Structure 1
Amino acid sequence: MQCDHYDANRCRSCTLLDRPYSVQVAEKQRRAQDLLGGPDAIAWLPPLLGPEQGFRNKAKMVVTGTVERPVLGILGPHGAGVDLRDCGLHTAGLRAALPTLAEFVTRAGLVPYDVARRAGELKYLLATESPDGELMVRLVLRSTEALARIRKHLPWLLAALPAARVVSLNLQPEHKAVLEGEQEIVLTEAEVLPMRLNDLVLHLRPQGFFQTNTVVASALYRQVRDWVDELAPASVWDLYCGVGGFALHCAAPGRAVLGIETSAQAVAGARLSASGAGLEEVEFAVGDAESFALAAAHGPDVVIVNPPRRGIGAGLAGWLEASTTRAVVYSSCNVTSLSADLAAMPSWRVRRAQVLDMFPQTTHDEVLTLLTRD
């Protein structure tokens, strides 16, 4: 992948861009094996790769510049905005939409936030593209000062950008590096973005989490489904379930599946997906994964965990160590925290593993593992 911004030293977010892609993948595989165990101890599947560029289904753009000339991209090392509307990581649909969204900023008179002066309104522009090419657009502002102007010019945006299905305003008034606030004002009739993966339609709400690489996420869900089906459990928990991708893929007749997630928005989307697919034996609840497990009278046959970068932590790892659960599927975006969690679960062993390159051109990846007892 060639990038003018990288070559000109304007953006170095793709820290591995100067290395051949095959070398990137080999290094990720080697690091995972160094931390978890080599092929003598673990059955490693071949790394799962997607496209090297054009894979990011979500654009998180810092908005700087002026109303007349907005800059959508990142903050440079000296605080100036760097325009990345042509970023090669984004899907073609996002790259095509960003100029229109920049024009909307001008039409609606949205003043970009100036970090140094602590002045202005519009902090971020967040856009997500579904596999079917529809868009969710979120404007992160300090207040509702511009809400009337946004509503006034919204018909223009929907006409100029027909792919825009969901448009919302998120309020984040604080001066700190927080991407979004708690309050969301949906401005369109549609409130959810359908995300079609494999044979399911997941439903993403504005504050719900979704994997940024659709191709690799689809393969990740299929692999977990295959492993769980091979285990043939009667009960499954999907902890940190997000919009329910793992839980819904692992549904089967006679199998009780429960997803737990702290985000009420994500749980609402997961329930909508289950209802739409007619999966009556899949349930979702809002809650903390560790607290839920510790309060449960007994555990399921299989537990799926997909935690944030910090991992599951000592509490949940200790519960799994003492539980009667017979298999764990652990999907990790941080192999270092995964290794630490495994150290707190000495009776469990990694039987199968796979590196999934969810984030090409960076040091990040997804490592999927299947754990069973000694």
Structure 2
Amino acid sequence: MRCDYFEAGVCRSCVLIETPYARQLADKDEAVRRTLGEAAAGARWLPPVASDESGFRTKAKMVVGGTTANPTLGILDGERVGVDLQGCGLYPAQLSSAFAPLAELIARAALSPYDLDTRRGELKNLIVTVSPDGELMVRFVMRSTEALARLAKHLPWLREQLPSLAVASLNVLPEHRAVVEGEREIMLTERESLPMRLDGLTLHLRPQSFFQTNTGVARELYRQARAWIAESSPADVWDLYCGVGGFALQALGPGRSVLGVELSQQAVASAQLTRDELAAAGVAGATDARFVAADATAFALAQEHAPELVVVNPPRRGIGPELAGWLERSDVATVVYSSCHPGSLAKDLAAMPSLRPVEVRVMDMFPHTAHAETAVLLRRA
């Protein structure tokens, strides 16, 4: 894949873009093997899952720079000047086609880009997500609600330009800190969630819910987890860090109890909505699934009994010593671990020596970078 931005030196985020993709994938698989080392000794390594080389990202987190009349959507350079990346090849056409109308909306609604040096301005980031059906969610991350009325006034115009726009919101991030979004979300549309249809399962993505940014590879990750769970045939399953319920809802089965635990209330509401839809459709096991909003580690440590199988899909820091220690001491027979950081995965595996990796598979969620998603099936020795 060639990239004019990379060749011009204005964006170097895809550090491996000049390496042939087949070599990237092989090197990434080998790097994960080295990192896991003895912690995964004896495991069977399944072939890595490749991604499309371009157009694979279904979420764009665009820093807004420039001026109200001429905004940039992309990143900030070393001098904190906006670099426009509307033509980035990582985004599919259904997503990137939204950038020009959004840039025009900024001018129409007089949304002033936030300036890091002066700490003035309102609009910090645009977060745009496209569903497998081509529908869009747009979130305006702003310092305050000062422009709320203007956004609402110009929203009909934006919907004319983007007929696929399904969900829009204003996210409030008043603090001057290096985060993408704030805690408060104000909906601008009647619809509050974006349907993400994967293999017959419709997950509902709300503005502050996590979802993999590479939907094609996420589909393969869910398929792999579903196969491992079916092979294990557990009576009960916990999905810790369950997000919108992707893994938990793959685990449904006749007579099987499924529990999802997630800190985000929005994500839990999304998971419950999907569960209710499946129950109404008569899907076996849907009525035996429930979701709770709680910290995954605190929840597990407070329970008197453990399930037969646990799925964990933690952030980059991993599950940590407390949860790993609980799993090691418990009578959980099987763990399905989805990791986005091989280093933290290696630490967690070392802390659970009684749970041995049986199969490992690298999933390339992030082509052209050194980042890797790794799925691991562990069974108690």
- TM class by shorter-chain length? over 0.9
Which whole-Å deviations, capped at 9, do the CAs of 1:295-351 have from their partners, x for residues lacking one? 001100000000000000000000000001100000100011000011111112111
Amino acid at match of 2:32: A
TM-superposed CA distance for 1:281, in Å, is 1.4
Residue 19 (str. 1) matches residue 30 (str. 2): no
TM-superposed CA distance for 1:35, in Å, is 2.5
Residue 122 (str. 1) matches residue 123 (str. 2): yes
Counterparts of 2:202 and 2:191 in 1: how far apart (Å)? 16
Q: 3-state DSSP class of the match of 1:63? A: strand
Instruction: Map residues 128-147 of structure 1 onto 2, 5 A cutoff.
Output: 128-147=129-148
User: Residue 324 and residue 40 in structure 1: after superposition, are their counterparts in 2 closer, same or farther (change >3 A)?
Assistant: closer
Residue 277 (str. 1) matches residue 284 (str. 2): no
Counterpart position of 2:6: 6
Counterpart position of 2:248: 247
8 Å contact kept, 2:36–2:343: no
Residue 325 (str. 1) matches residue 332 (str. 2): yes
Counterpart position of 1:213: 214
Counterpart position of 1:287: 294
Amino acid at match of 1:286: A
Counterpart position of 2:237: 236
Instruction: Map residues 85-234 of structure 1 onto 2, 5 A cutoff.
Output: 85-234=86-235
Q: How many residues align?
A: 374
**Where do 5+ consecutive residues of structure 2 fail to align?**
280-285
Counterparts of 1:232 and 1:346 in 2: how far apart (Å)? 23
TM-superposed CA distance for 1:36, in Å, is 2.5
8 Å contact kept, 2:332–2:380: no
Counterpart position of 1:32: 32
Q: 3-state DSSP class of the match of 2:249? A: helix
User: Residue 40 and residue 371 in structure 1: after superposition, are their counterparts in 2 closer, same or farther (change >3 A)?
Assistant: closer
Amino acid at match of 1:29: D
Which whole-Å deviations, capped at 9, do the CAs of 1:44-97 have from their partners, x for residues lacking one? 110011201100000000001111111000001221111001111112111111
TM-superposed CA distance for 1:205, in Å, is 0.4
Which whole-Å deviations, capped at 9, do the CAs of 1:139-163 have from their partners, x for residues lacking one? 0001111111111111101111111
Counterparts of 2:160 and 2:278 in 1: how far apart (Å)? 31
Which whole-Å deviations, capped at 9, do the CAs of 1:245-300 have from their partners, x for residues lacking one? 00001111111000000000111111001111112111110001100100001100
Counterparts of 1:74 and 1:143 in 2: how far apart (Å)? 21
Q: Quick one: percent identity of the two aligned structures?
A: 58
Q: 3-state DSSP class of the match of 1:158? A: helix
* Greater mean alpha carbon deviation, residues 38-47 or residues 228-237: 38-47
Counterpart position of 2:264: 263
TM-superposed CA distance for 1:40, in Å, is 7.2
Q: Please point out which of 356, 359, 369 is paired with 1:362.
A: 369
Q: 3-state DSSP class of the match of 1:280? A: helix
TM-superposed CA distance for 1:373, in Å, is 1.7
Counterpart position of 2:283: none
Residue 311 (str. 1) matches residue 312 (str. 2): no
> Over the residues paired in the alignment, what is the CA RMSD in angstroms?
1.0
Moved over 4 A (4+): 37-40
TM-score by length of 2: 0.97
TM-score by length of 1: 0.98
